[in-house]
Amino acid sequence: MIVRLDDNARITIANSNTGQELWSLPFPQAADNLFFPGHFPLHIEHFDNIIVFYYGMDRSKKIEAYELESGKLLWEIGEHFDSVPTLVDGKIIAYRFDDGLMIYDAHNGLLMGRVTLTRTLNDNSTWQSRPVWLAGHENTIALIYLGSAELLTLQIGE
């Protein structure tokens, strides 16, 4: 699979063996606003026969999943997220400051659960943790916290 973002703000999916275009779709934003230093306008995850796009510079910061071969839209999540999502063990994990980690089934986009991350400080007050980076591998997710550079790993699944 080859994914291209061309000068006309179109995302094109092509066969990696032949280079033949399979399908394309418009990027959901004007081409002159695609890039902003330190931000990712498009994040891509792939598993099974599904390709997942996260449009980070789009105001909605939505997630969309397409069937890889046909380009058929399978599902979308039109909620705002405060992190780039990651794929872990068949689940899409994203973060929202007010709600914590949101866990979605990557096959159908349905919310499976959420994990609220709250830390107790030395003075017994609480602080809502705000990760700035998420990464996943197999059934483990890693979070790096803003300001403190602390690393937290969580296992997702059974």
Q: Examine the domain organization and report whether 106 and 42 are in the same domain.
A: no
Query: Distance between CA 132 and CA 150 in Å, rounded?
Result: 11
- Asked whether 87 and 141 are in contact (CB, 8 A), the reply is no
- Asked whether 76 and 65 are in contact (CB, 8 A), the reply is yes
> Based on the number of CB atoms within 10 Å of its own CB, is 54 exposed (0-12), middle (13-18) or buried (19 or more)?
buried
Domain count along the chain: 2
The per-residue pLDDT for 116 is 83
The per-residue pLDDT for 4 is 73
Range of the domain at 131: 82-158
Residues 6+ apart with CB under 8 A from 38: none
3-state DSSP percent of the chain in helix, strand and coil, to 5: 0, 50, 50
User: Average pLDDT per run of 10 along the chain, which is 158 residues long?
Assistant: 73 87 75 45 76 67 84 87 83 84 92 82 61 76 75 77
Instruction: Return the CATH number at 56.
Output: 2.40.10.480
- Asked whether 12 and 20 are in contact (CB, 8 A), the reply is no
Q: Examine the domain organization and report whether 63 and 9 are in the same domain.
A: yes
pLDDT tens digit sequence for 70-114:
989 999 888 878 788 888 888 888 888 778 889 999 999 999 999
Of 20, 55, 80, which residue is a domain's last? 80
Q: Examine the domain organization and report whether 4 and 76 are in the same domain.
A: yes
The per-residue pLDDT for 113 is 92
